[in-house]
Amino acid sequence: MTFSVPALPYTYEALNPHVDTETMVKHHDFHHNAYVTNLNNAVTAQNCTLDLNSIVAKAGQLGAAIRNNGGGHYNHSLFWKMMAPIGTSNVKPTGLLAKKIDEDFGSFDTFKKEFTTAAITRFGSGWAWLGVGEQGKLAVSSTPNQDNPLMEGLVDKTMIPILGLDVWEHAYYLKYQNRRPEYIENWWNVVNWDKVVQYYDDYASKGEVVPIDA
């Protein structure tokens, strides 16, 4: 099976000033592309015919090259869609997800603080996540490198991710240098809550993994 980099759902400059144009070009066209190239090489070398969801689910059995690059491809394919230009999405979650956040975290502000803390305190490179875990409960977690919460046995909390934030330095260093907290604070302005709500309603709330083409 051959994998490819999905096109961005907006222009490179669409997330300015919060995520700058040069970062988007390098992040999408170079970093994501490298994960896909290396993943294709790895699956060919190992004669692996699994689709991407299966690769992520079985990452612990497939070796470092497929685990790291498969995770990188899956994470980024969702990440681009989890952001949107200002004014094109609701600024907060709505509907059932909004109610569930209040139920499981106490309030949206409490959730946001917990997620931000997970992102800031992730040592080195990795991701912060909101997902649906055991018994349908929402939870926040962070993972190292290109791991994600679907990688059962490899992460602290197994859950279906519906929102993720890349805190690798390549996601923010050109604009924010070492100021990760500033990057995270500004990133909240471009979260595509309409897409996150869709991921919850259509997939995660039903115990289904979000496909990368959704």
DSSP letters, 21-88, are HHHHHIIIIIIIHHHHHHHHHHHHHTT----HHHHHHTGGGS-HHHHHHHHHHHHHHHHHHTB--TTS
Closest CA to 93 of 181, 205, 171: 205
Question: Do 59 and 148 touch, CB atoms closer than 8 A?
Answer: no
* Exposure class string for 49-64: b at 16+ Cβ within 10 A, else e: eeebeebbbbbeebee
Q: Is 166 annotated as a binding residue?
A: yes
Question: Do 27 and 167 touch, CB atoms closer than 8 A?
Answer: no
Record the tokens describing residue 91, joined without a space. Answer: 């600024």
How many whole angstroms separate alpha carbon 65 and alpha carbon 211?
A: 21
Record the tokens describing residue 99, joined without a space. Answer: 């109610």
Q: Is 76 annotated as a binding residue?
A: yes
Residues annotated in the binding site, as ranges?
A: 27, 76, 166, 170
Residues annotated in the binding site for Mn(2+), as ranges?
A: 27, 76, 166, 170
